[in-house]
Amino acid sequence: MAISQKQILSLQQKLSPQQIQMIKLLELPTVQLEQRIKQEIESNIVLEEEERKEEDEMQPKEISVEEYLREDDTPAYKMRMNNFSRDDKQRPVYLTEGRSLQEYLIEQLGYRSLSEQELKLATYLVGSIDEDGYLRRDLESVADDIAFTVGVEISVGELERLLGVIHELEPAGIGARNLQECLLLQMRQMNLSTPARRLAHKILAHHFDEFVKKHYERLIARLQVSEEDFREAIAEIKRLSPKPGNLYAEGGTNTTPYIIPDFLLDYQDGHFHLSLNSYNVPDLKVNRRYQEMIRELVKSDGKVREEDREALQFVKSRIDSAKWFISAIKQRHDTLMRTMQTILDYQQEYFRTGDQAKLRPMILKDIADRTGLDVSTISRVVNSKYVQTSFGIILLKSLFSEAMQTATGEEVSSYEIKTLLQRCIDEEDKRHPLTDETLMNLLNERGYCIARRTVAKYREMLGIPVARLRKQI
């Protein structure tokens, strides 16, 4: 086969490394942007934080504490505290974190009559308990892990016996493998002296599936009890905790999510004031010393000595990278503000009152057309971004909703239908809850053309169970 050469003309679209970095910066929320900037400062020697003015420098000059003190006739000795003696020593305050759930359980195991090896194995079991208080792994897998990590061969029966010891610890229900076992462990540690508690224990032990599916009429007939007695037994079960690990909150890691908003929106006297939250985001600048270094390396005739050429290229590349990064941060700021301002103009009625029923139908393309940006850019801007308003912190992505048409042809937001659906379910008779088909008929009567499967989808999005599971006695 002969070798031949060909010229082919093709058009390809490729993103430069700078464009890829810009896209990544656009996606970052405020907290991650701060970390990204600090990372860039550490990697680029010519980039540094610009010093901000101190808060006291921003105060008006005419306000002076000394002037107020001179006007006051209070003697100086009355402005000092003297509630300590010369013998008092200043003691440091030590901040300590409380015990975790596992540490609390291991401490209780120390008071049990266990051998050294049994204590070691029980401690391994405690380490397999999750934050909810459940042992979600089967004992055979735990036995295999113990054989590989600890080097001890142990049977499932022995682990079952040690798990029984853990079941006797506090909080009640700890170490359960499923919800039924968890609730039964809590019931067994209670005094079953009342008929309601004994009936509750019987329901959990022998009729758990019917109880979970809320087949209450069938249970009442099978147990041959009155409706009042059954209601008291259900009340006893509701007092139990489905997640016993959450009952112990002395120590452990604080996993409460803190949301730092990316935008700050203030509404006063009929006017909106929108700003980007850049409190912890440092301002950047190029270090002057390196710019002067380039001037020193370059001679008056524009030539560079051979031994300085490599240093000059390195410093110049660092300065170019720093200038590009500062420009990218500014471009991110402009894109975010431009997009958020467009969303604000589009949803002014909602941002004035905070009523979700006033949310207009809005998709990414609506904002993209108004801003002149690409739909993918708008998607990156609203992803994981929050705005702080007078009625709470709102996820930008939650403001976008599909449009639904009423019987009159008017377009309404899906949030309006969800609000009405929630109201219908809240006002229903809990003894005879409304099915999805009944809810569909109610919405259709009010002019909202909606299918049953759409009702089911919106109900699931609201976190509302089916009618059977909403039934109450």
276 and 384 part of one domain = yes
| pLDDT digit string, tens, across residues 28-38 | 888 888 888 88
Query: Rounded distance, CA 307 to CA 135, Å?
Result: 67
Contact 365, 375 (CB under 8 A): yes
| CATH number assigned to the domain comprising residue 447 | 1.10.10.60
334 and 422 part of one domain = no
275 and 298 part of one domain = yes
Give the chain's domain count: 3
312 and 443 part of one domain = no
Exposure of 442 by Cβ count < 10 A (0-12 exposed, 13-18 middle, 19+ buried)? middle
385 and 269 part of one domain = yes
373 and 269 part of one domain = yes
| pLDDT digit string, tens, across residues 227-273 | 889 989 988 988 888 888 877 755 544 445 678 888 999 988 888 99
| pLDDT tens by residue, the chain, 473 residues | 678 888 888 777 676 677 777 788 888 888 888 888 888 888 888 888 877 665 444 444 454 445 444 544 555 554 455 555 555 555 555 545 567 888 888 888 888 888 888 888 888 888 888 888 899 888 888 888 888 887 888 888 998 999 999 999 888 889 999 999 999 999 888 888 889 999 999 999 999 988 888 888 888 888 898 988 998 998 898 888 888 887 775 554 444 567 888 899 998 888 899 988 877 777 888 888 887 777 777 765 667 677 777 777 888 888 888 888 888 888 889 999 999 999 999 988 889 888 877 888 888 898 999 999 888 888 988 888 899 998 888 888 888 877 676 777 666 777 778 888 888 888 888 888 888 888 888 888 888 888 888 888 888 888 888 887 787 77
Residue 282 lies in domain: 263-399
State the Rg of the chain over Cα: 34
350: in domain: yes
Q: Which residues contact 84 (CB under 8 A, 6 or more apart)?
A: none
273: in domain: yes
137: in domain: yes
Q: How many residues does the chain have?
A: 473
Query: Rounded distance, CA 412 to CA 401, Å?
Result: 10
352 and 422 part of one domain = no
Domain boundary among 384, 399, 414: 399
70: in domain: no
Is the whole model's pTM more than 0.75, yes or no?
no
278 and 202 part of one domain = no
281 and 366 part of one domain = yes
38: in domain: no
242 and 112 part of one domain = yes
Exposure of 173 by Cβ count < 10 A (0-12 exposed, 13-18 middle, 19+ buried)? buried
Domain boundary among 247, 281, 297: 247
432: in domain: yes
Task: Quote the tokens at residue 265.
Answer: 């929106």
**158 vs 106, 118, 153, 287, 381, CA distance in Å?**
18, 9, 10, 67, 56
273 and 393 part of one domain = yes
The helix/strand/coil state of 82 is coil
303 and 425 part of one domain = no
**Where is 313: in which H helix or E strand?**
helix 309-346
